[in-house]
Amino acid sequence: MPRHTALESYPAIHHVHKTGWLRAAVLGANDGLISTSGLVVGMAATGADTRTLLVTAAAGLTAGAFSMAAGEYVSVSSQADSEKADRDTEQRELKEEPDLELLELIGIYQGRGLSLELATQVARELTAHNALNAHLRDELGLNERNTARPLQAALASAGAFIAGALAPILVVMLYGGPDLEVVLIAATLLVLGLLGALAAKLGGAPWRPGAARVLFWGALAMGASALIGRLFGASVGA
């Protein structure tokens, strides 16, 4: 009869490992949806024709996607530079002062609740196995899972932005009737609510608060865009 460990019998489901990519994906998609929809809603409120709305949306999508990619690349590159500097520092300290580094690990494990004897044993064994990884992980909180990857982050953010920005473009293409701004606002809020609920669900959180948060800020953005468009259109018409 096959034997199973407790871990195999009761696998734990955690969501913390999703926070990095989930945050980037949700931020990019929400940004693409809200910013592009806001542009189109504002222009629609002025009475602009369909061609103008599509050009506006395409320009917003292009500029926004490049902006997201550049911003994310620069930000994550700075993080990667800091991680490399920390790695180089740890390598140098392990080479120059291995005894002090061992004492540092022992202190870390004692601070987490281990006895001096057990903390010393754990520190010695992990140092013998891979001293650098032990310090990067337990002293600095760095591991392969959360290592900064600038190009990956840039492409993911740009892709998420484009995915979000496509929704208002499709609405303009498929619906060219009256009250387009109202239809755009309704469609935007619907997609925002779904994105918020999905993000909360994937993160293991209740979906209602997640949806409510993005709906509130999305409605505020759409309302402001429509108001500015109407005021601008009225001033131009006058």
Question: What is the tens place of the pLDDT at every residue in 199-218?
Answer: 777 777 788 888 888 889 88
- What domain range is 109 assigned to? 15-237
Whether 79 is in a domain gets the answer yes
Residue 47 has pLDDT above 60, yes or no: yes
Asked whether the beta carbons of 74 and 228 are under 8 A apart, the reply is: no
Whether 25 is in a domain gets the answer yes
Residue 122 has pLDDT above 70, yes or no: yes
Specify burial of residue 143 (Cβ count, 10 A radius: 0-12, 13-18, 19+): exposed
Whether 47 is in a domain gets the answer yes
**How many angstroms separate the CA atoms of 143 and 120, rounded?**
22
Q: What pLDDT is stored for residue 144 in this prediction?
A: 67
Q: What pLDDT is stored for residue 66 in this prediction?
A: 93
Whether 56 is in a domain gets the answer yes
CA dihedral (89, 94, 96, 98) in degrees, to 10, reads 150
Residue 134 has pLDDT above 90, yes or no: no
Phi and psi (nearest 5°) for 175?
A: -130, 110
Whether 5 is in a domain gets the answer no
Q: What pLDDT is stored for residue 166 in this prediction?
A: 93
Q: Can you give the pTM of this predicted structure?
A: 0.71
Whether 66 is in a domain gets the answer yes
User: What's the total number of domains in the chain?
Assistant: 1
Q: What pLDDT is stored for residue 22 in this prediction?
A: 59
Whether 153 is in a domain gets the answer yes
Whether 97 is in a domain gets the answer yes
Asked whether the beta carbons of 28 and 161 are under 8 A apart, the reply is: yes
Dihedral sign of CA atoms 167, 184, 65, 204 in order:
negative
Q: What pLDDT is stored for residue 15 in this prediction?
A: 43
Q: Where are the alpha helices (DSSP H) in 46-115?
A: 50-96, 98-111
Q: 173 vs 54, 59, 98, 195, 223, CA distance in Å? A: 8, 15, 66, 22, 22
Mean pLDDT of all residues belonging to the chain: 82
| Position with higher pLDDT, 235 vs 182 | 182
